[in-house]
Amino acid sequence: MKYEQLPQQDPEITDLVRQEIKRQQDGLVMIPSENHASVAVLEAMATVLSNKYAEGYPHKRYYTGNQYVDQVEQLAIDRAKALFKADHANVQPNAGSGANIAIYLATLKPGDKVMGMKLDQGGHLTHGHPVNLSGQLYNFVQYGVRQDTEIIDMNEIRDMAKKEKPKMIVTGATAYPRIFDFKAWKEIADEVGALLLADISHFVGLCISGDHPAPFPYADFVMTTTHKTLRGPRSAIILTQQEHAKAIDKAVFPGTQGGPLEHVIAAKAVCFAEAAKPEFINYAQQIVKNAKALAETLTDEGIRLVSGGTDIHLMLIDCNPLKISGRTGSNVLAEGGIYTNRNTIPYDPGSAFEPTGIRLGTPAITTRGMKEDQMKIIGTIIAKVLKNSTNEEIKKELNDTVTELANQFPLYPEMTI
Ligand SMILES: *Cc1c(COP(=O)(O)O)cnc(C)c1O
């Protein structure tokens, strides 16, 4: 990928893009919601499709001149349906948060009762947090994990659902290292007459490879972002059973969005085609193998992981025993080039702003081709740094380790700006 006009026209932006490319190339991205999209995905976004207004849906637009964007969007829809074995796909949501709001708008009335996971135990803001529109417009009751196991207890969920009788149950999370058994959730939803939303934003790639249970045929609605384990552009889609198709389309446009980003929809089509290849299955399986190897190394080094480990692509380090905050831990790692994020852990003694956990995962470093051997190296140095967060020599060792790994597993070698 070669940039030509931008460097001449706007040296300030060019310089910042150049530095960001270098930051990604020279460091190890271990924030589990981030990834490195292919150059083909990035190129699809840098197209004239961005210029076109296409309010509406393929062959049902408000403006003229849609003969090509119609085909782009239809390809994205067809590929999404095939990839996820879904009756219906809406590929227009600009982001996961708006997509969840559109699903609520399609199915709920303000004040309706919904069950969603607590933010501080792994859920997403749009799963009913009071600062989010979801928590203000709807009557969310929130579930969490058991304090002793740090895992969701399906008996507790059933009891809560029976008591609360929600109209919808929201599953999926952003900081929960275990799986959602959608069949079991569906049984509970059916028992109480609730709709089931599977927000698979984080572990979507693992649903494709079979490392995480697939949401269909159990969920009524599936929402996923496309930029996390799916490795596409920063965006989202909604998949539904046929009976909800019309309501969802109306809720996305005109309910919550205007003109769709057809250049991003093109990039989503590219990423769906990539994810349908056997190589993607190998990739997603390696993400999990790497996460397990990393979790094992960290545990062997005496680090406590929430729930004792991981089944998926991410894990949470409990910083309490290390006598540091999540902020200090993630900052020290970032100074050495390993990017993670501070995060609450279940029953966190800290706050959302000053939590005691660090969330990290393997999607992006697996994209670079790293395997279990590299996870041992990375896990060992992370543990060493967190146990000695003020030791300059160990910080230097972290720097050297990251540089060596980054050079060994180059990222975007063809990119010049
Ligand atoms: C990332 C995420 C979202 C929101 O995605 P944005 O594109 O950042 O709005 C929603 N739900 C879950 C579970 C997520 O992990």
Do 330 and 231 share a structural domain? Answer: no
20 Cβ contact partners less than 8 Å away, ≥ 6 residues apart: none
What 3-state DSSP class applies to 315? strand
pLDDT at 353: 87
pLDDT at 2: 87
CB of 134 closer than 6 A to ligand 1? no
pLDDT at 345: 97
Which position has the token pair 């539904």?
240
Mutate which of 124, 203, 206, 313 for ligand 1? The one with the most ligand atoms within 8 Å of its CB, which is 124
Domain containing residue 298: 11-32+278-408
- Residues 386, 332 contacting (CB under 8 angstroms): yes
Distance from residue 399's CA to the centre of ligand 1 (Å): 31
342 vs 357: CA distance, rounded Å: 6
Between CA 160 and CA 168, with CA 163 as vertex, the angle to 5 degrees is 70
DSSP β-bridge partners for residue 89: 239
315 vs 12: CA distance, rounded Å: 37
What is the separation of C-alpha 361 from the centre of its chain, rounded to a whole number of angstroms? 11
Between CA 254 and CA 79, with CA 264 as vertex, the angle to 5 degrees is 90
Total domains present in the chain: 2
pLDDT at 65: 98
Mutate which of 94, 126, 223 for ligand 1? The one with the most ligand atoms within 8 Å of its CB, which is 126
173 vs 155: CA distance, rounded Å: 19
pLDDT at 193: 98
CA-based nearest residue to 115, from 164, 180, 181: 164
Query: In this structure, what token pair is assigned to residue 225?
Result: 């972002």
Domain end point (choices 275, 291, 326):
275
pLDDT at 352: 82
Do 292 and 238 share a structural domain? Answer: no
Do 287 and 218 share a structural domain? Answer: no
Query: In this structure, what token pair is assigned to residue 271?
Result: 């990423």
- Other CB atoms closer than 10 Å to residue 403's CB: what's the count? 14
Atom of ligand 1 nearest to the CA of 127: 11
pLDDT at 417: 86
Residue whose CA is at the smallest distance from ligand 1 atom 5: 96
What is the separation of C-alpha 269 from the centre of its chain, rounded to a whole number of angstroms? 18
Query: In this structure, what token pair is assigned to residue 94?
Result: 């600009």
Do 300 and 217 share a structural domain? Answer: no
Of residues 158, 167, 234, 289, which has the active-site annotation?
234
pLDDT at 115: 98
This prediction has a pTM of 0.97
Do 215 and 241 share a structural domain? Answer: yes
Do 404 and 332 share a structural domain? Answer: yes
Segments of the chain scoring below 50 in pLDDT: none
pLDDT at 119: 95
413 vs 139: CA distance, rounded Å: 50
